[in-house]
A and B are shown apart, each in its own frame.
Chain A
Protein backbone atom coordinates (compact mmCIF):
# COMPACT_ATOMS: atom_id res chain seq x y z
CA UNK A 1 0.00 0.00 0.00
CA UNK A 2 1.28 3.47 -0.89
CA UNK A 3 1.92 5.50 2.26
CA UNK A 4 -0.25 8.60 2.70
CA UNK A 5 1.37 11.88 1.80
CA UNK A 6 2.63 13.83 4.80
CA UNK A 7 0.62 16.80 3.55
CA UNK A 8 -2.15 16.73 0.98
CA UNK A 9 -4.19 19.77 -0.05
CA UNK A 10 -7.20 19.67 -2.36
CA UNK A 11 -8.91 22.75 -3.75
CA UNK A 12 -7.38 24.96 -1.08
CA UNK A 13 -8.69 28.52 -1.32
CA UNK A 14 -8.14 31.61 0.75
CA UNK A 15 -9.07 35.25 0.12
CA UNK A 16 -8.41 38.43 2.05
CA UNK A 17 -11.35 40.66 1.14
CA UNK A 18 -11.55 40.76 -2.66
CA UNK A 19 -7.98 39.45 -3.02
CA UNK A 20 -7.92 35.71 -3.79
CA UNK A 21 -4.55 34.58 -2.47
CA UNK A 22 -5.03 30.81 -2.87
CA UNK A 23 -7.30 29.63 -5.63
CA UNK A 24 -7.81 25.87 -5.60
CA UNK A 25 -4.35 24.52 -4.75
CA UNK A 26 -3.85 20.73 -4.99
CA UNK A 27 -0.48 19.70 -3.60
CA UNK A 28 1.02 16.50 -2.18
CA UNK A 29 4.16 16.16 -0.10
CA UNK A 30 5.60 12.64 0.04
CA UNK A 31 7.47 11.36 3.08
CA UNK A 32 11.18 12.09 2.94
CA UNK A 33 11.09 14.50 0.03
CA UNK A 34 12.27 18.09 -0.02
CA UNK A 35 9.72 20.25 -1.77
CA UNK A 36 10.47 23.86 -2.58
CA UNK A 37 7.55 26.18 -3.33
CA UNK A 38 8.52 29.12 -5.50
CA UNK A 39 6.65 32.12 -6.82
CA UNK A 40 6.80 35.89 -6.92
CA UNK A 41 5.84 38.16 -4.05
CA UNK A 42 2.11 37.90 -3.37
CA UNK A 43 1.77 34.60 -5.21
CA UNK A 44 0.38 32.92 -2.08
CA UNK A 45 3.43 30.91 -0.94
CA UNK A 46 3.44 32.05 2.67
CA UNK A 47 -0.35 31.92 2.95
CA UNK A 48 -0.25 28.32 1.68
CA UNK A 49 2.19 27.41 4.40
CA UNK A 50 0.27 29.31 7.11
CA UNK A 51 -3.00 27.69 6.02
CA UNK A 52 -1.50 24.21 6.18
CA UNK A 53 -0.29 24.98 9.71
CA UNK A 54 -3.68 26.33 10.77
CA UNK A 55 -2.35 29.85 11.31
CA UNK A 56 -4.87 30.99 8.69
CA UNK A 57 -8.27 29.41 8.14
CA UNK A 58 -8.95 28.18 4.60
CA UNK A 59 -12.12 29.44 2.92
CA UNK A 60 -12.52 26.22 0.95
CA UNK A 61 -10.76 22.94 0.25
CA UNK A 62 -9.30 20.24 2.45
CA UNK A 63 -5.97 19.62 4.13
CA UNK A 64 -4.86 16.15 5.19
CA UNK A 65 -1.90 15.60 7.48
CA UNK A 66 -0.45 12.10 7.41
CA UNK A 67 -3.67 10.94 5.74
CA UNK A 68 -6.09 12.41 8.29
CA UNK A 69 -8.27 15.49 7.85
CA UNK A 70 -6.58 18.40 9.59
CA UNK A 71 -8.82 18.77 12.63
CA UNK A 72 -7.44 20.40 15.79
CA UNK A 73 -6.28 17.11 17.40
CA UNK A 74 -4.69 15.91 14.12
CA UNK A 75 -2.89 19.22 13.74
CA UNK A 76 -1.75 19.11 17.38
CA UNK A 77 -0.29 15.63 16.79
CA UNK A 78 1.36 16.80 13.57
CA UNK A 79 2.97 19.73 15.40
CA UNK A 80 4.60 17.37 17.90
CA UNK A 81 6.87 16.11 15.12
CA UNK A 82 7.40 19.43 13.40
CA UNK A 83 9.98 22.21 13.28
CA UNK A 84 9.98 25.51 11.45
CA UNK A 85 12.46 28.21 10.53
CA UNK A 86 10.64 31.53 10.16
CA UNK A 87 11.59 34.26 7.71
CA UNK A 88 12.49 36.58 10.59
CA UNK A 89 13.77 33.65 12.70
CA UNK A 90 11.04 34.62 15.25
CA UNK A 91 13.29 34.07 18.24
CA UNK A 92 11.75 34.87 21.62
CA UNK A 93 13.32 38.21 22.60
CA UNK A 94 13.00 37.62 26.31
CA UNK A 95 14.85 34.29 26.36
CA UNK A 96 18.58 33.62 25.91
CA UNK A 97 19.66 31.69 22.84
CA UNK A 98 19.88 28.30 24.52
CA UNK A 99 16.36 28.57 25.96
CA UNK A 100 15.08 29.50 22.50
CA UNK A 101 16.71 26.40 21.02
CA UNK A 102 15.62 24.19 23.92
CA UNK A 103 12.09 25.62 24.13
CA UNK A 104 10.36 22.37 23.20
CA UNK A 105 12.92 20.20 24.97
CA UNK A 106 12.44 21.98 28.31
CA UNK A 107 8.98 20.45 28.53
CA UNK A 108 10.35 16.95 28.15
CA UNK A 109 13.66 16.89 30.02
CA UNK A 110 15.51 18.64 32.86
CA UNK A 111 17.11 22.01 32.10
CA UNK A 112 20.76 20.82 32.16
CA UNK A 113 20.05 18.06 29.63
CA UNK A 114 18.03 20.47 27.45
CA UNK A 115 20.85 23.00 27.57
CA UNK A 116 23.39 20.36 26.55
CA UNK A 117 21.19 19.35 23.62
CA UNK A 118 20.73 23.00 22.64
CA UNK A 119 24.49 23.55 22.59
CA UNK A 120 24.87 20.40 20.46
CA UNK A 121 22.30 21.75 17.97
CA UNK A 122 23.96 25.17 17.95
CA UNK A 123 27.21 23.42 17.02
CA UNK A 124 25.33 21.62 14.21
CA UNK A 125 24.46 25.01 12.69
CA UNK A 126 27.98 26.34 13.16
CA UNK A 127 27.59 28.34 16.38
CA UNK A 128 29.83 27.88 19.41
CA UNK A 129 28.73 27.43 23.02
CA UNK A 130 29.62 31.05 23.79
CA UNK A 131 26.44 32.07 21.91
CA UNK A 132 24.21 30.04 24.24
CA UNK A 133 23.79 32.68 26.92
CA UNK A 134 23.51 35.67 24.62
CA UNK A 135 20.17 37.33 23.95
CA UNK A 136 18.69 37.26 20.42
CA UNK A 137 19.00 41.05 20.17
CA UNK A 138 22.80 40.69 20.43
CA UNK A 139 23.01 38.49 17.30
CA UNK A 140 23.47 39.38 13.63
CA UNK A 141 20.79 38.45 11.09
CA UNK A 142 22.74 35.41 9.91
CA UNK A 143 23.29 34.18 13.46
CA UNK A 144 19.60 34.63 14.27
CA UNK A 145 18.70 32.46 11.27
CA UNK A 146 21.13 29.80 12.46
CA UNK A 147 19.64 29.87 15.95
CA UNK A 148 16.18 29.62 14.40
CA UNK A 149 17.39 26.61 12.43
CA UNK A 150 18.84 25.04 15.58
CA UNK A 151 15.45 25.53 17.32
CA UNK A 152 13.64 23.94 14.36
CA UNK A 153 15.78 20.80 14.51
CA UNK A 154 16.22 20.66 18.30
CA UNK A 155 13.73 17.83 18.83
CA UNK A 156 14.74 15.98 15.62
CA UNK A 157 11.35 16.44 13.97
CA UNK A 158 10.22 14.38 11.00
CA UNK A 159 8.78 17.40 9.16
CA UNK A 160 10.54 20.72 8.64
CA UNK A 161 9.26 23.98 7.13
CA UNK A 162 11.58 26.77 6.03
CA UNK A 163 9.98 30.12 5.23
CA UNK A 164 12.26 32.28 3.06
CA UNK A 165 15.39 30.96 4.80
CA UNK A 166 17.86 33.22 2.96
CA UNK A 167 15.90 36.49 2.80
CA UNK A 168 17.98 39.40 4.06
CA UNK A 169 21.28 37.50 4.06
CA UNK A 170 24.33 38.24 1.95
CA UNK A 171 25.17 35.62 -0.72
CA UNK A 172 27.83 33.89 1.37
CA UNK A 173 25.62 33.57 4.44
CA UNK A 174 22.72 32.51 2.23
CA UNK A 175 24.86 29.76 0.69
CA UNK A 176 25.82 28.67 4.21
CA UNK A 177 22.17 28.41 5.28
CA UNK A 178 21.28 26.52 2.08
CA UNK A 179 24.08 24.03 2.69
CA UNK A 180 22.99 23.57 6.29
CA UNK A 181 19.38 22.92 5.30
CA UNK A 182 20.40 20.44 2.60
CA UNK A 183 22.75 18.70 5.02
CA UNK A 184 20.15 18.46 7.78
CA UNK A 185 17.42 17.21 5.44
CA UNK A 186 19.73 14.57 3.92
CA UNK A 187 21.19 13.52 7.25
CA UNK A 188 17.91 13.21 9.17
CA UNK A 189 15.71 12.02 6.30
CA UNK A 190 13.16 14.62 7.32
CA UNK A 191 10.36 15.70 5.03
CA UNK A 192 10.88 19.36 4.17
CA UNK A 193 8.94 22.23 2.64
CA UNK A 194 10.80 25.41 1.77
CA UNK A 195 9.17 28.63 0.63
CA UNK A 196 11.53 30.86 -1.32
CA UNK A 197 12.08 33.01 -4.39
CA UNK A 198 15.84 32.54 -4.21
CA UNK A 199 16.82 30.25 -7.11
CA UNK A 200 20.14 29.34 -5.44
CA UNK A 201 18.13 27.96 -2.53
CA UNK A 202 15.90 26.03 -4.93
CA UNK A 203 18.87 24.33 -6.61
CA UNK A 204 20.58 23.62 -3.30
CA UNK A 205 17.60 22.28 -1.37
CA UNK A 206 14.90 20.91 -3.67
CA UNK A 207 14.08 17.38 -4.76
CA UNK A 208 10.86 18.70 -6.27
CA UNK A 209 9.66 22.20 -7.12
CA UNK A 210 6.15 23.61 -7.15
CA UNK A 211 5.44 27.05 -8.57
CA UNK A 212 2.55 29.19 -7.37
CA UNK A 213 1.31 32.02 -9.54
CA UNK A 214 -1.64 34.23 -8.56
CA UNK A 215 -2.76 31.67 -6.00
CA UNK A 216 -2.75 28.71 -8.41
CA UNK A 217 -0.30 25.87 -8.77
CA UNK A 218 1.37 26.76 -12.05
CA UNK A 219 3.92 23.97 -12.39
CA UNK A 220 5.39 21.16 -10.36
CA UNK A 221 8.07 18.60 -11.03
CA UNK A 222 11.57 17.37 -10.18
CA UNK A 223 14.14 20.12 -9.78
CA UNK A 224 16.12 18.62 -12.67
CA UNK A 225 13.18 19.29 -15.04
CA UNK A 226 12.80 22.92 -14.01
CA UNK A 227 15.22 24.36 -16.57
CA UNK A 228 13.79 22.38 -19.48
CA UNK A 229 10.14 23.06 -18.61
CA UNK A 230 8.23 24.84 -21.35
CA UNK A 231 6.10 27.00 -19.08
CA UNK A 232 6.88 30.64 -19.97
CA UNK A 233 6.04 32.04 -16.49
CA UNK A 234 8.29 29.46 -14.81
CA UNK A 235 11.10 30.12 -17.29
CA UNK A 236 10.85 33.87 -16.75
CA UNK A 237 10.94 33.36 -12.98
CA UNK A 238 13.93 30.99 -13.13
CA UNK A 239 15.81 33.33 -15.45
CA UNK A 240 14.93 36.37 -13.36
CA UNK A 241 13.26 38.37 -16.10
CA UNK A 242 9.73 39.83 -16.37
CA UNK A 243 7.08 37.41 -17.64
CA UNK A 244 5.89 38.11 -21.19
Chain B
Protein backbone atom coordinates (compact mmCIF):
# COMPACT_ATOMS: atom_id res chain seq x y z
CA UNK B 1 0.00 0.00 0.00
CA UNK B 2 1.06 3.59 -0.68
CA UNK B 3 2.89 4.80 2.50
CA UNK B 4 1.19 8.21 2.34
CA UNK B 5 -2.20 6.52 2.27
CA UNK B 6 -1.12 4.33 5.19
CA UNK B 7 -0.11 7.35 7.28
CA UNK B 8 -3.30 9.15 6.31
CA UNK B 9 -5.43 6.16 7.28
CA UNK B 10 -3.64 5.81 10.63
CA UNK B 11 -4.04 9.53 11.31
CA UNK B 12 -7.74 9.39 10.54
CA UNK B 13 -8.13 6.36 12.80
CA UNK B 14 -6.39 8.15 15.69
CA UNK B 15 -8.45 11.31 15.12
CA UNK B 16 -11.66 9.26 15.03
CA UNK B 17 -10.76 7.48 18.26
CA UNK B 18 -9.83 10.74 20.01
CA UNK B 19 -13.14 12.20 18.90
CA UNK B 20 -15.07 9.15 20.13
CA UNK B 21 -13.36 9.21 23.53
CA UNK B 22 -13.91 12.96 23.86
CA UNK B 23 -17.62 12.62 23.06
CA UNK B 24 -17.87 9.70 25.47
CA UNK B 25 -16.20 11.76 28.23
CA UNK B 26 -18.54 14.67 27.50
CA UNK B 27 -21.59 12.41 27.68
CA UNK B 28 -20.25 10.83 30.85
CA UNK B 29 -19.74 14.16 32.58
CA UNK B 30 -22.93 15.81 31.40
CA UNK B 31 -25.51 13.00 31.20
CA UNK B 32 -28.84 14.22 32.59
CA UNK B 33 -30.48 12.84 35.72
CA UNK B 34 -28.08 13.30 38.63
CA UNK B 35 -28.39 10.31 40.98
CA UNK B 36 -26.85 11.11 44.39
CA UNK B 37 -27.10 7.54 45.71
CA UNK B 38 -25.04 6.17 42.80
CA UNK B 39 -22.44 8.93 43.24
CA UNK B 40 -22.20 8.25 46.99
CA UNK B 41 -21.71 4.53 46.34
CA UNK B 42 -18.90 5.24 43.88
CA UNK B 43 -17.25 7.80 46.17
CA UNK B 44 -16.93 5.05 48.75
CA UNK B 45 -15.73 2.43 46.27
CA UNK B 46 -13.29 4.65 44.39
CA UNK B 47 -12.22 7.08 47.12
CA UNK B 48 -12.60 5.57 50.55
CA UNK B 49 -11.57 2.02 49.61
CA UNK B 50 -8.45 3.27 47.76
CA UNK B 51 -7.20 5.05 50.85
CA UNK B 52 -5.16 2.15 52.31
CA UNK B 53 -3.24 1.46 49.10
CA UNK B 54 -2.64 5.14 48.36
CA UNK B 55 -1.64 5.80 51.99
CA UNK B 56 0.83 2.91 52.11
CA UNK B 57 2.33 3.91 48.77
CA UNK B 58 2.76 7.49 49.96
CA UNK B 59 4.25 6.42 53.30
CA UNK B 60 6.96 4.26 51.76
CA UNK B 61 7.63 6.72 48.95
CA UNK B 62 8.11 9.60 51.41
CA UNK B 63 10.37 7.46 53.57
CA UNK B 64 12.49 6.25 50.63
CA UNK B 65 12.65 9.78 49.22
CA UNK B 66 14.05 11.08 52.52
CA UNK B 67 16.76 8.42 52.51
CA UNK B 68 17.65 9.11 48.87
CA UNK B 69 17.77 12.89 49.22
CA UNK B 70 19.83 12.59 52.36
CA UNK B 71 22.29 10.25 50.63
CA UNK B 72 22.52 12.56 47.61
CA UNK B 73 22.52 15.78 49.64
CA UNK B 74 25.39 14.57 51.83
CA UNK B 75 27.67 14.76 48.80
CA UNK B 76 27.14 18.52 48.75
CA UNK B 77 26.80 18.98 52.51
CA UNK B 78 23.14 19.72 51.86
CA UNK B 79 21.46 17.16 54.12
CA UNK B 80 19.32 19.92 55.66
CA UNK B 81 17.19 20.19 52.52
CA UNK B 82 15.67 16.73 53.02
CA UNK B 83 12.37 17.91 54.61
CA UNK B 84 11.74 20.63 52.03
CA UNK B 85 12.53 18.45 49.03
CA UNK B 86 10.46 15.56 50.36
CA UNK B 87 7.52 17.92 50.87
CA UNK B 88 7.81 19.62 47.48
CA UNK B 89 8.48 16.34 45.68
CA UNK B 90 5.50 14.67 47.30
CA UNK B 91 2.90 17.39 46.77
CA UNK B 92 3.97 18.44 43.28
CA UNK B 93 4.87 15.16 41.70
CA UNK B 94 5.03 11.89 43.56
CA UNK B 95 1.79 12.22 45.53
CA UNK B 96 -0.42 12.81 42.47
CA UNK B 97 1.45 10.51 40.08
CA UNK B 98 1.90 7.52 42.37
CA UNK B 99 -1.55 8.02 43.91
CA UNK B 100 -3.02 8.22 40.41
CA UNK B 101 -1.16 5.10 39.29
CA UNK B 102 -2.30 3.14 42.35
CA UNK B 103 -5.89 4.23 41.75
CA UNK B 104 -5.45 3.28 38.09
CA UNK B 105 -4.36 -0.22 39.07
CA UNK B 106 -7.20 -0.65 41.56
CA UNK B 107 -10.07 1.31 40.06
CA UNK B 108 -9.60 1.32 36.27
CA UNK B 109 -9.34 -2.47 36.36
CA UNK B 110 -12.35 -2.81 38.61
CA UNK B 111 -14.54 -0.46 36.52
CA UNK B 112 -13.51 -2.18 33.27
CA UNK B 113 -14.15 -5.64 34.73
CA UNK B 114 -17.51 -4.66 36.20
CA UNK B 115 -18.84 -2.85 33.13
CA UNK B 116 -17.28 -5.45 30.84
CA UNK B 117 -19.07 -8.26 32.68
CA UNK B 118 -22.29 -6.27 32.46
CA UNK B 119 -21.75 -5.83 28.73
CA UNK B 120 -21.13 -9.51 27.96
CA UNK B 121 -24.01 -10.69 30.17
CA UNK B 122 -26.41 -8.27 28.40
CA UNK B 123 -27.04 -6.21 31.55
CA UNK B 124 -26.19 -3.01 29.68
CA UNK B 125 -28.65 -3.95 26.94
CA UNK B 126 -31.19 -4.63 29.67
CA UNK B 127 -30.74 -1.07 30.95
CA UNK B 128 -31.55 0.24 27.46
CA UNK B 129 -34.72 -1.85 27.31
CA UNK B 130 -35.69 -0.44 30.72
CA UNK B 131 -35.43 3.10 29.31
CA UNK B 132 -32.21 3.91 31.17
CA UNK B 133 -29.22 5.57 29.50
CA UNK B 134 -26.30 3.24 30.40
CA UNK B 135 -23.77 6.08 30.21
CA UNK B 136 -25.74 8.23 32.65
CA UNK B 137 -26.42 5.31 34.96
CA UNK B 138 -23.00 3.63 34.94
CA UNK B 139 -20.35 6.05 33.69
CA UNK B 140 -21.41 9.42 35.09
CA UNK B 141 -21.30 8.47 38.79
CA UNK B 142 -17.94 6.74 38.36
CA UNK B 143 -16.44 9.63 36.45
CA UNK B 144 -17.56 12.29 38.92
CA UNK B 145 -16.66 10.15 41.93
CA UNK B 146 -13.11 9.71 40.59
CA UNK B 147 -12.73 13.39 39.69
CA UNK B 148 -13.88 14.40 43.17
CA UNK B 149 -12.21 11.74 45.30
CA UNK B 150 -8.73 11.35 43.75
CA UNK B 151 -7.66 14.93 44.71
CA UNK B 152 -8.70 14.14 48.28
CA UNK B 153 -6.70 10.91 48.13
CA UNK B 154 -3.75 12.88 46.76
CA UNK B 155 -4.04 15.41 49.60
CA UNK B 156 -4.13 12.68 52.23
CA UNK B 157 -1.29 10.87 50.43
CA UNK B 158 0.79 14.07 50.47
CA UNK B 159 0.44 14.34 54.23
CA UNK B 160 1.20 10.65 54.79
CA UNK B 161 4.22 10.86 52.43
CA UNK B 162 5.62 13.85 54.31
CA UNK B 163 5.07 11.92 57.53
CA UNK B 164 6.99 8.97 56.01
CA UNK B 165 9.92 11.30 55.41
CA UNK B 166 9.52 12.75 58.90
CA UNK B 167 9.63 9.25 60.44
CA UNK B 168 12.89 8.44 58.65
CA UNK B 169 14.23 11.92 59.37
CA UNK B 170 13.80 11.71 63.15
CA UNK B 171 14.75 8.02 63.50
CA UNK B 172 17.68 7.72 61.07
CA UNK B 173 18.86 11.11 59.84
CA UNK B 174 19.27 13.03 63.07
CA UNK B 175 16.46 15.59 62.62
CA UNK B 176 14.38 16.77 65.54
CA UNK B 177 10.64 16.35 65.08
CA UNK B 178 9.90 20.08 65.25
CA UNK B 179 12.87 20.98 63.07
CA UNK B 180 11.87 18.52 60.35
CA UNK B 181 8.27 19.73 60.24
CA UNK B 182 9.21 23.40 60.30
CA UNK B 183 11.63 22.80 57.45
CA UNK B 184 8.95 20.93 55.48
CA UNK B 185 6.42 23.78 55.59
CA UNK B 186 8.98 26.60 55.23
CA UNK B 187 9.53 26.17 51.49
CA UNK B 188 6.13 24.81 50.52
CA UNK B 189 3.90 27.21 48.55
CA UNK B 190 0.16 27.00 48.16
CA UNK B 191 0.48 26.56 44.36
CA UNK B 192 2.60 23.44 44.98
CA UNK B 193 -0.35 21.90 46.80
CA UNK B 194 -3.07 23.21 44.49
CA UNK B 195 -1.27 22.05 41.33
CA UNK B 196 -0.95 18.56 42.82
CA UNK B 197 -4.65 18.46 43.67
CA UNK B 198 -5.59 19.65 40.16
CA UNK B 199 -3.44 16.87 38.76
CA UNK B 200 -5.31 14.45 41.02
CA UNK B 201 -8.67 15.55 39.60
CA UNK B 202 -7.46 15.09 36.02
CA UNK B 203 -5.88 11.72 36.84
CA UNK B 204 -9.10 10.60 38.51
CA UNK B 205 -11.00 11.49 35.34
CA UNK B 206 -8.49 9.58 33.21
CA UNK B 207 -8.78 6.48 35.42
CA UNK B 208 -12.59 6.37 35.36
CA UNK B 209 -12.73 7.24 31.67
CA UNK B 210 -10.31 4.45 30.71
CA UNK B 211 -12.14 1.89 32.85
CA UNK B 212 -15.54 2.91 31.51
CA UNK B 213 -14.48 3.19 27.86
CA UNK B 214 -12.95 -0.25 27.68
CA UNK B 215 -15.56 -1.85 29.94
CA UNK B 216 -18.48 -0.56 27.89
CA UNK B 217 -16.87 -1.96 24.74
CA UNK B 218 -15.92 -5.39 26.06
CA UNK B 219 -16.92 -8.26 23.80
CA UNK B 220 -16.53 -11.99 23.40
CA UNK B 221 -17.02 -13.27 26.93
CA UNK B 222 -14.40 -13.70 29.64
CA UNK B 223 -11.51 -13.16 27.23
CA UNK B 224 -12.99 -9.83 26.18
CA UNK B 225 -13.44 -8.73 29.78
CA UNK B 226 -9.82 -9.69 30.53
CA UNK B 227 -8.62 -7.69 27.55
CA UNK B 228 -10.75 -4.70 28.52
CA UNK B 229 -9.29 -4.77 32.04
CA UNK B 230 -5.70 -4.89 30.81
CA UNK B 231 -6.29 -2.16 28.25
CA UNK B 232 -7.95 0.05 30.84
CA UNK B 233 -5.02 -0.15 33.26
CA UNK B 234 -2.44 0.40 30.53
CA UNK B 235 -4.37 3.33 29.02
CA UNK B 236 -4.98 4.91 32.42
CA UNK B 237 -1.31 4.59 33.42
CA UNK B 238 0.03 5.99 30.16
CA UNK B 239 -2.64 8.69 30.26
CA UNK B 240 -1.62 9.72 33.77
CA UNK B 241 2.09 9.87 32.96
CA UNK B 242 1.58 11.87 29.77
CA UNK B 243 -0.99 14.20 31.36
CA UNK B 244 1.44 14.72 34.25
CA UNK B 245 4.17 15.81 31.85
CA UNK B 246 1.81 18.22 30.07
CA UNK B 247 0.42 19.66 33.29
CA UNK B 248 3.86 20.03 34.87
CA UNK B 249 4.96 21.95 31.78
CA UNK B 250 1.83 24.07 31.93
CA UNK B 251 2.05 24.83 35.64
CA UNK B 252 5.77 25.30 36.19
CA UNK B 253 7.32 26.72 33.04
| A and B are interacting partners | yes
Query: Taking beta carbons and an 8 Å cutoff, which residues of A are in contact with B?
Result: 50, 53-55, 76, 79-80, 82-84, 86-88, 90-93, 103-104, 151, 161
Residues of B within 8 A of A86 (CB): 122, 125-126
What CA separation (Å) do A55 and B122 show in the bound complex? 11
CA of A103 to CA of B127 in the docked complex: distance in angstroms?
Answer: 9
- Name 19 A/B residue pairs within 8 A (Cβ), A-sorted: A50-B125, A53-B125, A53-B128, A55-B125, A79-B131, A80-B131, A84-B126, A86-B122, A86-B126, A87-B122, A90-B121, A90-B123, A90-B125, A90-B126, A92-B123, A93-B117, A103-B132, A104-B131, A161-B129
Instruction: State A110–B235 Cα separation when bound (angstroms).
Output: 42
* 0/1 string, B104-133, CB within 8 A of A gives 1: 000000000000011001110110111110
- Given A90-B126, A91-B123, A103-B130, 14 other A-B contacts at CB below 8 A? A50-B125, A53-B125, A53-B128, A54-B128, A79-B129, A79-B131, A80-B131, A86-B126, A88-B122, A90-B121, A93-B123, A104-B130, A151-B130, A161-B129
Residues 77 to 129 of chain B near chain A (Cβ within 8 Å): 117-118, 121-123, 125-126, 128-129
Whether the pair A90, B128 counts as a contact (CB closer than 8 A) is no
Q: How far is it, in angstroms, between the C-alpha of A104 and the C-alpha of B131 when the chains are bound?
A: 8
Report the Cα distance A7→B199, complex, angstroms: 51
Chain B positions 16-44 with a Cβ under 8 Å from a chain A Cβ: none
Which residue among B118, B122, B128, B132 has the maximum number of chain A CB atoms within 10 Å of its CB? B122
Contacts of A82 in B (CB 8 A): 129
Interface footprint category on B: 10 to 19
Bound complex: CA A87 to CA B128 (Å)? 15
Most chain B CB within a 10 A radius of its CB, from A86, A90, A92, A161: A90
CB closest residue in chain A, given B126: A90
Chain A at the B interface: mostly helix, strand, loop or mixed? loop
Q: Which 10 residue pairs are nearest across A and B when measured between Cβ atoms?
A: A90-B122, A90-B126, A84-B129, A79-B131, A86-B122, A90-B123, A104-B130, A55-B125, A103-B130, A88-B121
Contacts of A54 in B (CB 8 A): 128
Q: What are the residues of chain B within 8 A of A87 when measuring CB–CB? A: 122
| CB atoms of B129 and A53 under 8 A apart | yes
Q: Please give me the residue from chain B that is nearest to A104 by CB atom.
A: B130
Closest to A161 in B: B129
Q: Which residues of B are found within 8 Å of A79, using beta-carbon distances?
A: 128-131
Q: Which residues of B contact A91 (CB under 8 A)?
A: 123, 126
A202–B130 Cα gap in the complex (Å)?
A: 26
Smallest Cβ-Cβ distance to B125: which chain A residue: A55
Contact partners of A55 in chain B: CB under 8 A: 125, 128
A-side contacts of B126, CB under 8 Å? 84, 86, 90-92
B67 smallest CB distance to A (angstroms):
44
Q: Which residues of B contact A151 (CB under 8 A)?
A: 130
Instruction: Determine the residue in chain B with the shortest Cβ distance to A92.
Output: B123
Q: How far is the CA of A54 from the CA of B127 in the complex (A)?
A: 13
CB distance from B53 to the nearest CB of A (A): 23
B33, closest chain A residue (CB)? A107
Chain A contacts of B131 at CB under 8 A?
76, 79-80, 104
Smallest beta-carbon distance B42→chain A, Å: 12
CB-nearest residue of chain B to A84: B129
| A103, B137: Cα distance in complex, Å | 12
Cα A92 to Cα B121 with chains together (Å): 9
Q: Which residue of B lies closest to A81 (CB)?
A: B131
Contact present for B129 and A83 (CB under 8 Å): yes
Could you tell me the distance between the alpha carbons of A91 and B118 in the complex, rounded to whole angstroms?
9
* CA A87 to CA B125, docked complex, whole Å: 12
Closest to A86 in B: B122
Chain B residues with CB under 8 Å of A84's CB are 126, 129
Residue of chain B at shortest CB distance from A82: B129
Which residues of chain B are within 8 angstroms of A83 by Cβ–Cβ distance? Answer: 129
What is the bound-complex CA distance between A193 and B240, given in angstroms?
A: 48
CA–CA, A151 to B132, complex, Å?
Answer: 14
Q: How far is the CB of B211 from chain A (nearest CB, A)?
A: 16
CA distance A151 to B123 in the complex (A): 13
| Minimum distance in angstroms from A102 CB to a CB of chain B | 11
**Which residues from chain B contact A53 at a C-beta distance below 8 Å?**
125, 128-129
Residue of A nearest to B117 (CB): A93
Docked pose: A236 CA to B129 CA in angstroms? 34
Residue numbers in A under 8 Å from B132 (CB-CB): 103
Minimum C-beta distance from B125 to chain A (A): 5
Q: Which A residues are in CB contact (< 8 Å) with B118?
A: 93
In the assembled complex, the Cα of A112 lies from the Cα of B118 at a distance in Å of 27
Bound-state Cα–Cα, A76 to B125, Å? 14
